Structure 1
């Protein structure tokens, strides 16, 4: 689904590395590490977790193939101009599980945001989030809008009002449709940043993150029946368990596993499955997927196990640079693939073998994501960081000219 001198699905939103004020060992105790930080001062850590980068890229590819091969039958017919049984009669059912890539994004985001925010000031956290999300998001909106308005696409011509609302990234609370359906994941991310910034403002500690996880869990459980739309909008119950589990996994990685942290993870796993399988009330209405529910449970469980393996330090030897590069492409690929890719499939899907069209489209989108990240997102984000870092955030009026 962070660009803080390393790059965040989610999805939208972070990759697997970060800057740390201290370098914790897998067996460090919370008190010992925090005492060491207080005595020794900041020691910058600039490594990345390549395994998380690789997982993020796989999650992005899963979402891409879901949109191209595994969507609902009516949507598939709308994209390809013919029933999916004529194109992907067997593969369709398997690639439909690619929608779960978003849940993996949220798990990783909880881990990485907690990692990258540790030891930062609220100002630093704000700057890192703004410069990570908005530059590439605005580029994606401009590119997608150009495709929609200038090319014969199946998306119609949205009103300018929708476009303006989407530029704010606040279209969900404004009650405006997303220009691209994949943008829905950005609102849960923003809510996570907003609420987590309170903990950052107080100063991240083991105890405060655990309390935050507990309070968010309680809110996620109460929100669906509280009859308070604003609370439900901010808490995002179907997505919350994954962010919470990701933060607990990071605490395991930074300090050590404890029964309390495993309890948070287990509760998040149960709640995540509950919301996923809730008929009509969860993030996804599975409808006729009853025979597949066992696979849904298995896949979500595998996601939790994969992050647990990383949190326990068992992937520390994985350092292939290719995974790091792949991780930086995740956000551009996620934002750009839907409208561009569906338009290509809609126009050329009947002119060649469907699998060849899908394969070439995915390769082209990965290449486009590299160009966008390397020559647009990175320099724009760097310039924005410099500008915001030198800006005054005080509420006092600036000096007169």
Structure 2
């Protein structure tokens, strides 16, 4: 097998898999500038995992939350409402980390062979249309109905529409939006590699530099570095990219080393007693399960990278994968508000299951009738637009 067009010939670069095996056909002549890679088949296993991760987050918010907002919603701590399963559903928060792991794999895969323009358009049209729809829906619920979320200053709403509320120092309109900033930072920094042209070596170097930055950021005392590097999320993105390189090429000791380092750093940040994103010191009895759960996530993506899941097929998995983003963005404000109104009138499990089912139906309708048409229109407009710093033609003087 010859080298990938645009890939430097080197003994350090493993031979790529045949196109039929990797399910990612090579770019045509012209290398990285030849346009987007065309995938013959979606990875159904990734779609299924994404959907399960979204469901885990949904049930975490309804059943597994620590005492706080949900205590007000249920009228008592969730641990008393669901005494037998609360501790298990608390680990649903890890669904976000699985999202990041999958994102590193998928973004690297979808960006291969794309121009920076293609990459920019694909990411903008993937994130913003559904995000704007979710903000409008959530804002209507928050400002028009009695909810546990109060009535935030309209400034919060305007800042959230930009998706830049985190660097602006503004609260998220919905707490689940916090994950969008790490995703956006990943896209922005990875765009530099896309601009240079994706190769095996460049992605490996990017993984190495990001790992070093994630290690240094917590003690560097530079808030801007921490804001851009996202140390607690970085190991999952980095491991996802390394797994994709295994999938596209072959597993190598270097790639396994990147994954191992990312796994160790992920556990380090998750178990941090102070300053860790999840504050897991309040879950001391469950730390063994935390380590096991995170390890299982890495093993699942490893199985996909090694081609062990190619037998998994089914259009329903693809449909489930398309529901993930709308379900994630819509479930919190709408679902918690429903629970808030009916908690004292409906059996808790009945309420949770009916609410989750209704949110799945809503996500399907919104994805089909709103998000997809909006994204297609936005993609068409951006594809027809001119980018760059070249000034447009001046108006004719009358």
TM-score of the pair, normalised by structure 1: 0.90
Q: 2 CA distance for matches of 1:331 and 1:136?
A: 8
Alignment of 1:41-56 (within 5 A): 44-56=38-50
Relative distance call for 1:34 and 1:344 in structure 2 (3 A) is: closer
Corresponding residue of 1:11: none
Query: Where do 5+ consecutive residues of structure 2 fail to align?
Result: 1-17
Is the Cα–Cα contact under 8 Å of residues 272 and 279 in structure 2 kept in the other structure? yes
Corresponding residue of 1:23: 19
Query: Where do 5+ consecutive residues of structure 1 fail to align?
Result: 1-21
Q: 2 CA distance for matches of 1:145 and 1:294?
A: 39
Q: 2 CA distance for matches of 1:310 and 1:37?
A: 29
Q: 1 CA distance for matches of 2:122 and 2:146?
A: 37
Cα displacement (A) at 1:287? 2.9
2:351 to 351, 354, 357: 357
Alignment of 1:1-400 (within 5 A): 23=19, 25=21, 44-400=38-394
Relative distance call for 1:35 and 1:357 in structure 2 (3 A) is: closer
Cα displacement (A) at 1:289? 1.1
Q: 2 CA distance for matches of 1:221 and 1:65?
A: 32
1:191-217 CA distances to partner (integer Å, 9 max, x unpaired)? 000100000000000010000000000
Is the Cα–Cα contact under 8 Å of residues 101 and 237 in structure 2 kept in the other structure? yes
Q: 1 CA distance for matches of 2:178 and 2:82?
A: 27
Q: 2 CA distance for matches of 1:289 and 1:38?
A: 49
Cα displacement (A) at 1:38? 5.1
Is the Cα–Cα contact under 8 Å of residues 51 and 323 in structure 2 kept in the other structure? yes
Q: 2 CA distance for matches of 1:214 and 1:225?
A: 18
Cα displacement (A) at 1:349? 1.3
Cα displacement (A) at 1:261? 0.3
Cα displacement (A) at 1:91? 1.1
- SS in structure 2 opposite 1:323? helix
Number of matched residues? 375
Q: 2 CA distance for matches of 1:91 and 1:352?
A: 19
Relative distance call for 1:27 and 1:245 in structure 2 (3 A) is: same
Corresponding residue of 1:7: none
Q: 1 CA distance for matches of 2:212 and 2:85?
A: 39
1:265-294 CA distances to partner (integer Å, 9 max, x unpaired)? 000000000000011221111233111000
Cα displacement (A) at 1:397? 1.3
Cα displacement (A) at 1:236? 0.2
Is the Cα–Cα contact under 8 Å of residues 66 and 78 in structure 2 kept in the other structure? no
Is the Cα–Cα contact under 8 Å of residues 26 and 312 in structure 1 kept in the other structure? no
Cα displacement (A) at 1:77? 1.2
Q: 2 CA distance for matches of 1:85 and 1:70?
A: 8
Which stretch shifts more, 281-290 or 179-188? 281-290
Is the Cα–Cα contact under 8 Å of residues 27 and 255 in structure 1 kept in the other structure? no
Relative distance call for 1:36 and 1:263 in structure 2 (3 A) is: farther
